[in-house]
Chains A and B, each alone.
Chain A
Amino acid sequence: MSIDLIIYLLGGLTIGSALMVIISKHPVRSVLYLILTFFLISANYIMLNAQFVAIVNIIVYAGAIMVLFLFVLMLLNLSKENEPKTSLLVKVSALISGSLLLLVLLAVFKDASFLSIENEVSNPNHGLVQNLGKLLFTKYVLPFEVSSILFIAAMVGAVLLAKRDKNIIE
């Protein structure tokens, strides 16, 4: 079994499970498919020699965020009655435009040339946490630090939006 075959298989599986996320009627099932998708993405990362990212992906997304999602969904108590109704027209046109997008992208990428960055990927130590940490604190220290602003803002925002205010409850 060649490496290529594994990569294509993994890719196909990822896309398939991602599709299932959208297609599934039941939200919990959707979330489960989403978790599966994340695991498959992590597998892709490993194939790309990025072990650390793969593990972080599983811990953060598949672990923390998805569990949160599940809890929220269960608490919301969704049922068929209050499911939003989309008109057939929108569904059909969405289908058409989505498949058109796929077609067009395929047509464009059919003969696109990709840069090969073989030699970096082939290094087995490439994706280790040590290398990543070095890069983050030397070459990419600025984006790394500046993203703290983003997180602070997001946190403050989350608190702001989620906090129950007395005057609103009244």
Chain B
Amino acid sequence: MEAIIILFSTGIVSLFIAMTRKPILVLLTALIGVTVTAIVMSINWYTPMQWVKYDGIETDYFTIIYGATATLFSFLFILIGYSKFSKEVYHTGDYIAILIFSLCGALCLFSFTDLFMFFIGLEILSIPMYVMAGSNKKNLLSSEAAMKYFFTGSFATGVLLFGIACVYGALGTFQLKEMSEAIAAMKNSSALLQVGMILILAGFLFKVGAVPFHFWGPDVYSGSPNVVTGFMATVVKLAAFCGFLRLFQLGFNGLDGFFVEILIAVSVLTMFVGNLSALRQTKLKRLIAYSSITHVGYALICLLVKNEHTPAYLWTYFFAYGFSIVALITVSMIVNDENDDIDRYKAFARTNPFAGFVMILALLSLAGVPPLVGFFGKYLVFSSAIEQYPVLIIIALINSGIAIYYYLKVILTAISKDDNAEKSTVSPLHAIVLSISMFGLILGGFVTFWVN
């Protein structure tokens, strides 16, 4: 709760500071605010602050870990995007504030205890994203992305709300605790509840971009400004996953039977569609979009396994995934190509050895090559489910194999020789972010062990 208040104030203050027309001040305010948020959250770990009490929000360890991760990634994305934000002096504050507001929504999703907060959190998370997707007004694709995201997103929200209404109709409460008690007390399952859950599940699958609710993903990812793409792929996805996981686990006592079968089917479909579509992509952000769809397929496996470690595994997975995205988005900002063609990265690793190195690390981590952090994420998720769903894991492994092809293709492009290649300039902020993500990629595996 404190964290949300501090973040919200940071956003407001950034908006006002922006009136000075000095982007650097906005940046500093935002960074300080986000850092303070992170500090407050980590204090909460040891001594829970309870000066504002409300039963719509509850802080537990997972809230803090997820919150800290989302805050860290937001911090990095604000840093990455600063070079773009600062070009439009009039809007610097808007961009940064909107990202921060979206993060507020994410924090709500990490800690809600009733469906009100869940829904509001989800909307706070999404609406800024609709806006940010279209924030590059010079680019038609960006506007298109915003429109598509908004249309499909509102449809999904409608479905979700319908689902929530059905669940309320069946259970008569919005409190997660009371919901789970009511379900436990139910003798035979109610059709209304089940339909509500299916519709909520549909909303969830849309938010994370699973097949067949994934279509917005590639279009929106490739149309949005790079930073927004990164933010959507990491923070939004992490928040949506965590929020729905919380809802399913605390509110619906976990998913089983029928839902497990649906999730397995969706997971397999998602992996294949994401991977196979990615094989022939020629644009980096579209590739990232499809690869993120595939990763959603892997992460869905987490939801199938009912044990107390599930949130930790899910967190590990997205923690690992996030660093790769941060690195790739930074690289795409450095290259700064309108068309975003992968060919544009030819000889990138030769002209910019450090950035190229981090980029290769990021791709290898996405592919799940040990000892990079991506390997640990995959390993934990797969190993947790291998006993219950061996066939699914084998399919997931096959897909990991397919995925290596397109990651390696990008790597090969980056290290190939090209005499005409020019050296791109790396701004200090980007260098810092690249170093951080490099450490994350290499040492992240140990952090995940420590947290687990």
Contacts and interface: CB of A to CB of B under 8 A. Distances in A.
Is there a direct interface between A and B, measured as CB atoms under 8 Å apart in the complex?
yes
A6 to B, nearest CB: 21
Contacts of A154: 127, 131
Interface in B116-135: 116-117, 120-121, 123-124, 127-128, 130-132, 134-135
A153 B192 contact: no
Contacts of B65: none
A146 B211 CA distance: 32
Contacts of A92: none
Interface string A100-141: 000001001101111101000000000000000000000011
Given A150-B127, A153-B127, A156-B94, A142 B56 contact: yes
Nearest to A160: B94
Contacts of B15: 156
B93 to A, nearest CB: 9
A108 B54 CA distance: 37
B134 A150 contact: no
Highest count of chain B CB atoms <10 Å: which of A109, A112, A113, A117: A112
A147 B195 contact: no
Contacts of B400: none
B131 A149 contact: no
A142 B4 CA distance: 11
A169 to B, nearest CB: 11
Contact of B131 (A108, A112, A160, A168): A160
A153 B137 contact: no
A142 B127 contact: no
State the main secondary structure of chain A at its contact with B: helix
A142 B54 CA distance: 7
Interface residues of A, number: 29
A159 interface: yes
Contact of B116 (A112, A140, A156, A158): A140
Contacts of B94: 156, 159-160
Highest count of chain B CB atoms <10 Å: which of A105, A108, A115, A142: A142
A156 B192 contact: no
A101 to B, nearest CB: 10
Interface of B: 4, 8, 11-12, 15, 54, 56-57, 88, 90-91, 94-95, 97-98, 101-102, 104-105, 108, 116-117, 120-121, 123-124, 127-128, 130-132, 134-135, 137-138, 146, 169-172, 190-192, 194-195
